[in-house]
Structure 1
Amino acid sequence: MQIKSYEEKYCDQLTKLILGVQQDEFGVAITLDDQPDLMDIPGHYFDGKGHFWVALQDDVVIGTIAVLFLENGHAAIRKLFTDANFRGKEYQTGQKLLDALEAFCAENGKNAIYLGTTDKFKAAHRFYEKNGYEEINKTDLPEDFHILAVDSKFYRKNVN
């Protein structure tokens, strides 16, 4: 497995993966139109705004993660998704993606990472908590944290 920065050639694969996990696997009522960042990844995540990575197995997208830089040294995790066939300790796809994001945040002087998720992603909650993320109240989020309609649980990890 390889973790790489996003390239345009992976757009269709990663969109299919993300929508498949959201809609088909977990029944979350979200569409591509609800996620304009997926239609313009460079415009949303590059040029000092953050970053976007893909996990690849034989040049096939098996995972994604992105970070958005916020004000005051904060960052927000976005789009952490892994193919169901590449989850768990055997593959550590999510772990490798999260490690890349956290290292990038540390290199860029970020002091806290935030995320929002749906209450349906129980395994994700355990994953974040195992990695030192603490559940917080919605009111504890930074002002510039964009809350998605499906977000109902929120986490923070202090870094650096």
Structure 2
Amino acid sequence: MISQAGDSLEIRRFSTSDEQGVIDVILPIQREEFGIAITAEDQQDLRAIPEFYQSGNGDFWIAAAGERIVGTIALKDIGGAEAALRKMFVASAFRGREHAVAARLLDALLAHAERRNIEAIYLGTTEKFLAAHRFYEKNGFVEIAMQDLPASFPVMGVDTKFYVRRI
């Protein structure tokens, strides 16, 4: 289990008791910040995290401030020593360098990927999330064209910008 305690923030693997907390952090961001009309029922992966993400070389981590889940990140095994970074969400009150929630979540994911001999991590995002683009680029991700994605990469309907990080 990966656990990083300090300043009352813990990064740890998802457990089934975290399911509602994960939904409670992700859905408001998707709906209110991204303007996506989506429900938990539309995202069956959120109701089946162990089966969907915590299989093969994948996993799912949460950031918890006390009892409250304030961030998530997932690594989806897509075969061939490749994986997709998914479900990267951080509650607005916990964003920024002073909290480093996103960085700590990404560090946990990258450490896991190295241990599992993942060679490349792909992700998709939208054009409008400039802060996310800067974060990914600062952390070694390089923009690629959609046609350069592996066939097994799960492209989401809102994805228009794609990145890869070689490990």
The verdict on a shared fold, with TM-score over 0.5 as the criterion, is: yes
Pick 1 or 2: higher relative contact order, CA cutoff 8 A, min separation 6: 1
| Range class of TM-score, shorter chain | over 0.9
CA distance in structure 1 between the partners assigned to 2:106 and 2:49 by the alignment:
18
TM-score by length of 2: 0.91
Identity %, equivalent residues: 45
Q: TM-score, normalised by structure 1?
A: 0.95
Residue 59 (structure 2) aligned to one of 45, 51, 54: 51
Q: Which among 63, 76, 81 is matched to residue 84 of structure 2?
A: 76
Is the contact made by 2:123 and 2:163 (CA closer than 8 Å) also made in structure 1? yes
1:17 aligns to what SS in structure 2? Answer: helix
2:21–2:69 contact (8 Å) kept in structure 1:
yes
Deviation readout 1:57-96 (Å, 9 max, x if unpaired):
0121000000011222111101000010001010000000
Structure 2: gaps of 5 or more residues:
1-8
Q: Secondary structure at the match of 1:156?
A: strand
Q: Which runs of 5+ in 1 are unaligned?
A: none
* TM-align CA RMSD: 1.1
1:129 matched to which residue of 2?
Answer: 137
Distance across 2 between alignment mates of 1:152 and 1:29: 18
Question: Is it true that 1:152 corresponds to 2:152 in the alignment?
Answer: no
> What letter matches 1:8 in structure 2?
T
The within-5 A match list for 1:7-156 is 7-156=15-164
CA distance in 2, matches of 1:65, 1:91: 16
Counterpart of 2:156 in structure 1: which amino acid?
L
How many residues are paired up? 159
Runs of 4+ with >3 A deviation: none
